[in-house]
Structure formats: C-alpha cells, structure tokens
Chain A
Amino acid sequence: KNEVEQSPQNLTAQEGEFITINCSYSVGISALHWLQQHPGGGIVSLFMLSSGKKKHGRLIATINIQEKHSSLHITASHPRDSAVYICAVDLDQFYFGTGTSLTVIP
C-alpha cells in the first residue's frame, strides 16, 4: 500500500509548455513536500506546503487538504527543468511518491 501516489510517472513536454504533476495521499499529514532530483542525483527541496498555494519563479505548488491532493505546476517549461519530481508527505516520517520523470524537449 502506497501512502503517496504520483502521476504521471513519465512526462515529455515541448519547451514552453505548461506542466502539471499530481500527487495524492491517503492519510492525514502535517505537511507535503515537493522535491526535485536532477540527473546527477542530487535532491533539492522545492516547496513545503500545509495549505493553499506557493509560488517560486516558474514553479507553483498547490494543496487541497480536504481532497488530499497536491499539484506542482511549471509554467513556460525549459529543458533545464528536466528532472524527477518527487512528492513526499510528512507523517511521523517522510513517505515518498515514486516520482515523475520530466523531460522538456527544446
């Protein structure tokens, strides 16, 4: 049983497209995180959310606590956005989604 489900698993987009990655979770949480893992393997924390919406540059993250759902949006996508995006929920520990592999083609 996965506490966190992400979709899609793989996503290919043309440069400039608007991208949405979805995350659903099955339990009550204190916070949800979006992480970015680059091809080199390093992990960067993008957002920590407990309600509403956050924006950082071209990245927007939203969360609906009632529906247990979060989305990560990328506007005006660029090839450097190519990475794996991972959703994680914070219960007593972190539970991770399996990630969405994004490839942005020039």
Chain B
Amino acid sequence: NAGVMQNPRHLVRRRGQEARLRCSPMKGHSHVYWYRQLPEEGLKFMVYLQKENIIDESGMPKERFSAEFPKEGPSILRIQQVVRGDSAAYFCASSPQSQKNEQFFGPGTRLTVL
C-alpha cells in the first residue's frame, strides 16, 4: 500500500524556466493538498483539489502558479517563469474521500532556482 508519491524529489531550474511537480495520492484518496515550505519558514497552504476540481486556491500566488488534478494521473503543481524566491520544499498531501481532516504527506519536492 504505497503512500503519497511525489516526483521529482529534487528539481533544479534556472530563472525563467518552468517547474512541474507531480503528486500521486494514496490509493483510494481523491483529495489532494499542496503546501510550500520556504527556507527558514513554516509550511503554508497553497491549494486544495479534488479530481478535476479546484476547491480552494486561496494560498496560491496569483501569477505563474497553477495546479490541476485530472481524472487520470497525478496532480500537477506548475510554476511558470520561476524566480529565485520560488526555491522551497513543496509538499503534497492526500486524504480519503470522506475524511478531509486526515491527511497523509508525501516526501516533498525540493525546488532550487539558480
């Protein structure tokens, strides 16, 4: 019973490039959450998705960031035209359909922008 999978674990991008972060939720989980942990800061909520729906994106920066959770395949967090300030650890969590509160975290993707 695999846990939440994230890939890549480490991603290096140059300023202006695009970053795509993938999250495969636990089997049977249809709710996905993305969090960002900036260096020396705590975790911050970014977005909450269900299959094919964005439920809450109040924590997402207004520009360059987007997220999706298609009917098939992993959830994707996409950052366009990355800047150095985007360097952070991005964590994904998932929860079962009927239990929004109980979340299981992935190992995170560490994005470094050069």
Report A's interface with B, CB cutoff 8 A.
30-31, 33, 35, 41-45, 48, 86, 88, 90, 92-99
Query: Interface segment, B14-22, B35-43, B61-69, B75-83?
Result: B35-43
* Contact between A86 and B105, CB atoms less than 8 A apart: no
Q: Which bracket fits the contact residues of B?
A: 20 to 34
* Contact between A44 and B105, CB atoms less than 8 A apart: yes
* Contact between A41 and B105, CB atoms less than 8 A apart: no
* Contact between B43 and A93, CB atoms less than 8 A apart: no
- Would you give 22 A-B contacts (Cβ < 8 Å), ordered by A? A31-B101, A35-B105, A41-B107, A41-B110, A42-B107, A42-B108, A43-B91, A43-B108, A44-B105, A45-B103, A48-B101, A48-B102, A90-B101, A92-B56, A93-B48, A93-B59, A94-B33, A94-B35, A94-B45, A94-B103, A96-B42, A98-B41
* Contact between A99 and B105, CB atoms less than 8 A apart: no
